[in-house]
Structure 1
């Protein structure tokens, strides 16, 4: 990324729109790191890309010794998210992709970096473990499911699409089922001949609950409603806009594999994908999408290759199963002592 572009971001950061960075008592000199997020951090940005800033800030003394709590600061107008240090550590310990990215930027992609921010980057290794397999894999699975759902919504016959909706709902309900199955009742989903004259078949529900908490009930139905509502957008899609979204999902799917493999093979977080940009940008441009809105055989071969490489990296990685919590706790305690004494 060129120096002039970074200077533009620094100029933007110093504009009135971002005054909260300087005036909010939790930010200002307490910010350890602030850097680019999203497409600009990966190098896959185009003219329409949003500008995201991501960062981490020291806790207030009252958070650590008193009665206040703080997880993160969000500014929706500028799409800026700044995590409290303790919240960030918890996410890093799980190898959360969105937060790992903050520690793997190029030097000129950081807009603010204090000495403590550099110390956090220098201790990246404390947070890397085999948990990355599940976390990055989970995010990749979600991206793949978005692709499959969108393609199925547009290309399958109605009766086959209904089967796909049922499968998607059941996948989405996995966590809900674990929590609620057999708890004061149960729920059964199945496909039968449609009562709706516009459909051939449709999904039916048999539900039997007694004395079921209302908030849990709304959670249960909300999960199913969101999946069905997504599918019901068929016929209302803007093909060019939606194809762009599909290509973006496909690109991020492959990028997640790339980053996970780096972590497992090299013990490194590499957010700016300089060497992979030709492949990633080709996917984003639509080079792997066919005219009917589905992806080419070449894309699925690429996906299969990265799945194979991730499996291989997972089997051979030298990373520990879990982080060394004794070392993590010493590091966190050191940073928080500085935050309490305001010696930064």
Structure 2
């Protein structure tokens, strides 16, 4: 990075990144490299690490042979480069960690070839109402991290149960695409008065599953159980260390809502948050945290406002229910055909 916190055009010339040139899955197969994390959001500070994300084409042997390349991870440089096949699947699901790679500021792309530019030109093909649940799921995870680390003994049980309910319900939307013949009506979740003397309210479930694969059933319950277990974990806090993490989680929670609202309202991906940069940095710097480590009422009021804005955007969006799979498939076939015929 240069003095202004912008990417140095010679960053990739550092020998720490030699693996990009030398690895057999990367090199000439790379079509896009860009900054990720705080530099891409505009929320970096003097302690921020440089994260890089990228995309590399699958080779001919991956497409018509017996090899299978999914991604390359270099932990030393915080670099992850996805295969073309894998990134397409993630983008179709509007995965927040990868869809943001299509909306970077131009100066945050470290490398782009013609196919990479074509992918960016077709970014709108991947946008759909799936963003509601994909971004909502990630936001729920950030909110859980916040709540789990705070002093939950004084946290109202009914309110905690409500947050667990929303988290599990959000996960259920993902089950439809990952498990056999799963529909929302198969498991009906609701909150009611608890018969447990230790709880005021409790989440209940009505199940209606017949001739259902046991393994899928086991995985569904395991995921729900993990969400409930995460809420119930109690551990001692390292205040100084944890407060930094808490404020970072709080910042990303708001950022996720901002990106999702842009996608639904405008059909656009804006990873760098120019207009909200000051707000996000103020959250990261602890300006919304009280002395006891909890968050001020203003933060939760802001969060509620963005939740309502996302709900409104979801109702009014012009985006389709599903991404344009036919157009995406045509694009993927066009690219892979060039690979197979040695045009690339």
TM class by shorter-chain length? 0.7 to 0.9
| C-alpha distance after superposition, 1:7-44 (max 9, x if no partner) | 53x43321111110000111112111100011111010
Task: Give runs of aligned pairs for residues 171-250 of structure 1, distance below 5 A.
Answer: 220=222, 227=229, 231-234=233-236, 237-250=237-250
Matched, 1:309 2:306: no
- Quick one: structure 1 residues 311 and 155, their matched pair in 2 at CA, closer, same or farther if it must change by over 3 Å? closer
Matched, 1:277 2:277: yes
Q: Which residue number in structure 2 is paired with residue 12 of structure 1?
A: 11
Report what 1:33 is aligned to: 32
Alpha-carbon distance, 1:312 to partner? 1.2
Q: Distance in 1 between matches of 2:4 and 2:252?
A: 26
Distance 1:220 1:338, change over 3 A: same
Q: How many Å separate the matches in 2 of 1:59 and 1:221?
A: 31
| CA displacement at 1:2 relative to structure 2 | 7.5
Q: Counterparts of 2:122 and 2:227 in 1: how far apart (Å)?
A: 43
The whole-number CA distance in structure 1 between the counterparts of 2:138 and 2:337 is 34
- SS of equivalent residue, structure 2 residue 49: coil
- Residue 336 of structure 2 aligns with which residue? 336
Contact in 1 for aligned 2:96/2:135 (Cα 8 Å)? yes
Distance 1:148 1:30 in 2: 43
Alignment RMSD (CA, Å): 3.3
Pick the structure with greater CA Rg.
Answer: 1
Distance 1:64 1:252 in 2: 37
For 1:336 and 1:134, the matched residues in 2 are separated by: 30
Residue aligned with 2:280, SS: helix
| Structure 1 residues 232 and 28, CA gap change in structure 2 (3 angstroms) | same
3-state DSSP class of the match of 2:275? Answer: helix
CA contact (8 A) 1:130 1:314 kept: yes
CA gap of 1:13–1:310, structure 2 versus 1, over 3 A, is same
Q: State how far apart, in whole Å, the 2-side matches of 1:340 and 1:24 are.
A: 20
- Which residue does 1:183 correspond to in 2? none
Match of 2:210 in 1: none
Distance 1:232 1:32, change over 3 A: same
Offset from partner CA, 1:288-321 (integer Å, 9 cap, x none): 1111111111111111111111111111111111
SS at match of 1:137: helix
How many residue pairs get aligned? The number is 307
| Secondary structure of the corresponding residue to residue 47 of structure 1 | coil
The reply on whether 1:260 has 2:260 as its aligned counterpart is yes
Query: What are the superposed Cα offsets for residues 69-111 of structure 1, whole Å, 9 maximum, x if unpaired?
Result: 1111111111111110011011100100000010000110011
Tell me how far 1:221 sits from its aligned partner: 11
Aligned twin of 2:63? 64
